[in-house]
Amino acid sequence: GQCTQVCPAAAIVERPAIRQVREALADPDTVVTVQVAPAVRVAVGEAFGLAPGTNLIGHLCGALRRLGFDAVFDTDFAADLTIVEEAAELVDRLGTGHALPMITSCCPAWIRYVETFWPDLLPHLSTCKSPQQMLGAVTKNWWAQQVGIDPDRVVNVAVMPCTAKKLEARREEMADGPRRHVDHVLTTRELIRMLKASGLHLPDVPEETPTPMLSEGSGAGTIFGATGGVLEAAVRTVHTLVTGTELADPDVHAVRGTAGVRAATIGLGGRTVEVAVVHGLHNVPPVLQQIREGSSPYAFIEVMACPGGCVGGGGQPHGFDMAVRRQRAEGLFSTDAASPSRRSHENKEVATLRAALGDDERHRLLHTRYRATVTPHTGRL
């Protein structure tokens, strides 16, 4: 996969989780949930003859239920949750000046890279867990209670564009005691194998909607899957938090594009902040060196290990180039443009969940700390 070129996480060997997922689906005592990452929906169609960028989320919901999943959640929901948490954290740090620039923490290959090679910069990482892990945590600790299911019966599966997400799911911080946030991670390719083995031609499966409570997603959540999308989503919400008014145009064109490092100046009412987007780990060292030397001009930086962001992840259908990455990203950005809501802080399910959790539980479930040592992981990838 692509990660072999860029991913230092040793997550480069894809160990299929298909057998474990099938066993969970066949076990009458389990309640098996699945979440689908943004980048998956715009690439999975390529295996069924559709153009890159075709958004098949509705068909995926229908197909995943036919495979036997009891609840189908949308990682877009958790991307919105991540943005609301991360934007609040950034506003806090802008006020105190603590550990600026703040850097995104949703890419596990990037996290492992900092832990291994730049441990002195760990305080700059956002404390937010990734959307995958936030969703897993709230599924077992909140949703199960809401629907009256023993959380120990819940098995959480995640469909991800990414081999490093398998490693993230096994990190010791990504659990609540013995209860893992996410039990099994399928790559886009593994899901395609399961669909084909079941005789499901995805474009022909009737469209359905995801399971309520953890599924509402704004356009801002959708663009998480493309380089610059996390930063753009965050800017929309930070602007509202700082100025009390919505960004007039939610399209933050200054941070879009495919250059390896993109910098922009963002106006926040009476002040401006410098931000940057970096994709591809080979582009990272000069940006980190500036931070180490105390000369970084930035307040906030998005880093994604894969060129193009998650649309170019190591678990996506094989045989793609930069043009295909761009088409997949365009699928996400056009979904955002057509979305009735384009701001994470407008997500009503996110607001309901955050209010229900309260500050202590919210912090316990959704945030973490990273350490300079390489975290041992249990079992095989």
Applying CB under 6 A, the residues found at the interface with ligand SF4 are 3, 7, 107-109, 161-162, 164-165, 304-306, 309-310, 313
Of the candidates 85, 89, 190, 216, the residue annotated as catalytic is 89
Q: What is the closest distance, in whole angstroms, from the C-beta atom of residue 2 to ligand SF4 in the complex?
A: 8
Active site residue 106: yes
Residue 24 or 306 with smaller CB distance to ligand SF4 = 306
Q: What is the closest distance, in whole angstroms, from the C-beta atom of residue 264 to ligand SF4 in the complex?
A: 20
Q: Is 250 in contact with 345 (CB distance < 8 Å)?
A: no
The torsion angles phi and psi of 342, rounded to 5 degrees, stand at: -120, 15
Nearest residue (beta carbon) to ligand SF4? 313
Residue 154 or 167 with smaller CB distance to ligand SF4 = 167
Residue 165 or 180 with smaller CB distance to ligand SF4 = 165
Q: What is the closest distance, in whole angstroms, from the C-beta atom of residue 303 to ligand SF4 in the complex?
A: 9
Residue 7 or 186 with smaller CB distance to ligand SF4 = 7
Of the candidates 7, 130, 162, 165, the residue annotated as catalytic is 165
Q: What is the closest distance, in whole angstroms, from the C-beta atom of residue 165 to ligand SF4 in the complex?
A: 6
Of the candidates 106, 128, 162, 306, the residue annotated as catalytic is 106
Residue 1 or 217 with smaller CB distance to ligand SF4 = 1
Active site residue 168: yes
Helices (H), the chain: 3-6, 18-26, 38-41, 57-66, 75-96, 108-117, 131-138, 144-146, 164-169, 188-197, 219-222, 229-243, 285-293, 322-337, 348-366
Of the candidates 46, 61, 85, 126, the residue annotated as catalytic is 126
Strand order in the sheet with 271-279: 102-103, 300-304, 271-279, 261-268
Active site residue 126: yes
Residue 230 or 266 with smaller CB distance to ligand SF4 = 230
How far is the C-alpha of 266 from the C-alpha of 101, rounded, in Å? 14
List b or e across 364-375, with b for residues whose CB sees 16 or more CB atoms inside 10 angstroms. Answer: ebbbbebeeeeb
Q: What is the closest distance, in whole angstroms, from the C-beta atom of residue 8 to ligand SF4 in the complex?
A: 10
Q: What is the closest distance, in whole angstroms, from the C-beta atom of residue 380 to ligand SF4 in the complex?
A: 18
The torsion angles phi and psi of 127, rounded to 5 degrees, stand at: -80, -5
Helix (H) or strand (E) holding 71: strand 71-74
How far is the C-alpha of 293 from the C-alpha of 195, rounded, in Å? 50
Active site residue 302: no
Active site residue 190: no
How far is the C-alpha of 105 from the C-alpha of 344, rounded, in Å? 17
Active site residue 166: no
Helix (H) or strand (E) holding 212: none
Taking the CB of residue 201, how many other CB atoms lie within 10 A of it?
A: 12
Collapsing DSSP to helix, strand or coil, 23 comes out as: helix
Checking 292-298 for CB contacts under 8 A at 24+ apart, the result is 292/118, 292/120, 292/121, 296/101, 297/263, 298/100, 298/101, 298/263, 298/274
Of the candidates 46, 86, 115, 346, the residue annotated as catalytic is 86
Residue 304 or 366 with smaller CB distance to ligand SF4 = 304
Q: Is 183 in contact with 300 (CB distance < 8 Å)?
A: no
Q: What is the closest distance, in whole angstroms, from the C-beta atom of residue 356 to ligand SF4 in the complex?
A: 28
Active site residue ranges: 86, 89, 106, 126, 165, 168, 173, 310
